[in-house]
Amino acid sequence: MFPQFELLDIYGPLEFFGMLQDAVSISMIAQVPGEVTSSQGPKGVAEIALAEVADLDVLLVPGGWGTRALVQDDGFLALLRAAAKKAKFVASICTGSALLAKAGILDGKSATSNKRVFDWVTSQGPSINWVRKARWVEDGNIFTSSGVTAGMDMTLGLIERLLGREHSIQVAKGAEYIWNEDKTVDPFA
């Protein structure tokens, strides 16, 4: 989490991961633990400092207006880079890919982001194969999604990769969510 994160970027995917209570444990992370104000106003609470992150299965990076300032924050980017090295999978939603790009985490990889600010995001990492028309992109252990709700589709794809297709289908059904399974279909591109 970071100041001015996008609510649905975090809480949509966490709803899906939270439905797998026996298989996952969720921790909220921020540069400094405590309350963090979202772009929409409500606050979330981070329990762990980014500098104290231990090994993770998934590091999930949201987007939001706060990414504009954080791409200039070398201290934050160094912490993000270190946390990503400790994660088996790194995933971003929306403009969270700008942070991964600026931190060098996406160098040499394929990635996508929100289409309304695609040019700004892609300027953060010129050595990345930016895919404009994609709901989400998987490249090895890196998952990046287009804007906001695409992060929920990507999360189901990530759950499929981690635990199998049946888990993703059951989570989508349990949430009464229509999963856009084809990551190449992007009506917003």
Supply the CATH number for residue 32's domain: 3.40.50.880
Residue 187 lies in a domain: no
Residue 148 lies in a domain: yes
Exposed / middle / buried, residue 181 (Cβ in 10 Å: 0-12, 13-18, 19+): middle
Residue 162 lies in a domain: yes
Residue 179 lies in a domain: no
Angle at 114 between CA 158 and CA 119, to 5 degrees: 130
For residue 3, indicate whether it is catalytic: no
Residue 68 lies in a domain: yes
Residue 44 lies in a domain: yes
Catalytic residue among 93, 94, 121, 159: 94
Per-residue pLDDT of the chain (189 residues; tens, 9 = 90+): 999 999 999 999 999 999 998 899 999 999 999 999 999 999 999 999 999 999 999 999 999 999 999 999 999 999 999 999 999 999 999 999 999 999 999 999 999 999 999 999 999 999 999 999 999 999 999 999 999 899 999 999 999 999 999 999 999 999 999 999 999 999 999
Residue 184 lies in a domain: no
What one-character DSSP code corresponds to residue 5? B
3-state DSSP assignment of residue 68:
helix
Into how many domains does the chain fold?
A: 1
- Rounded to the nearest 5 percent, the helix, strand and coil shares of the chain are 35, 20, 45
What one-character DSSP code corresponds to residue 176? T
Q: What is the domain range of residue 139?
A: 7-174
